[in-house]
Amino acid sequence: MNLAIPPFWASWLYRPVELRIDVSPIPPHQLEGECASIHDRIHTPGDRLHGLPEIPLSDPRFAIRYRSADGEFYVYVEDQLEHRIAGFTVFNRLIELDKRADRYIRGPHSRYDPAYQRRGLASCIYRWALDAGLCLVTGARQSPGAHALWHKLAASHRLGYVDINNKKMHYLGDRVAPERLDPLSTRMFLLGQGWSLGSFAAATGMRCD
């Protein structure tokens, strides 16, 4: 699925070893309620979410709505045929990083109804952010689906590993030993469009020694 729209972020043979994968999925009824609430708010005049920009996807059934708040980006995928929110992705600021790195990096977190998973919706949203030049870093833990998505995106965007300590990143390489993945400070990153490892390190203060 393609998303040919302007960037939402205005400024901007080997089998890989696995990062920690132990995130419990949100109960379906809880997610359904959350998505229903978002849909109602988007279509309720006077609500803060009412009137969010709507952009169609290549599949005319779906459109996205997006907003930013406090430096974080919220992208909602709406099923216009069923009149419901299929899911959403939030690009969070990472409190583990300093202000210098915060200008260029966000940590994505997605929730999609099981009925809409494996349709390329989250992949489409992540590519939109990466193609806009945003760089992504994982949280401390990943779900199996998120882990698979990151390695899929690595086919077109550079993936690497960093250690985050004292709000600074230390580059660990494109591959790391399995035991190096256990600490919560070890994270994966994906470089957005236009970034090289050198320019990313220079902009964010990442150590590469």
Distance of CA 116 to the CA centre of its chain: 17
Give, as one character, the DSSP assignment of residue 27: P
User: Can you give the pLDDT at residue 118?
Assistant: 86
Note the pLDDT of residue 32.
84
pLDDT of residue 15: 33
Instruction: Give 147's contacts (C-beta < 8 A, 6+ positions apart).
Output: 18, 19, 21
Q: In CATH, what number does 28-204 get?
A: 3.40.630
Residues of the chain with pLDDT below 50 are 3-24
The pLDDT tens digits of the residues spanning 45-79 come to 999 999 899 988 888 899 999 999 999 999 999 99
The pLDDT, as a whole number, for residue 25 is: 56
- Strand 105-112 versus strand 135-137 pairing type: parallel
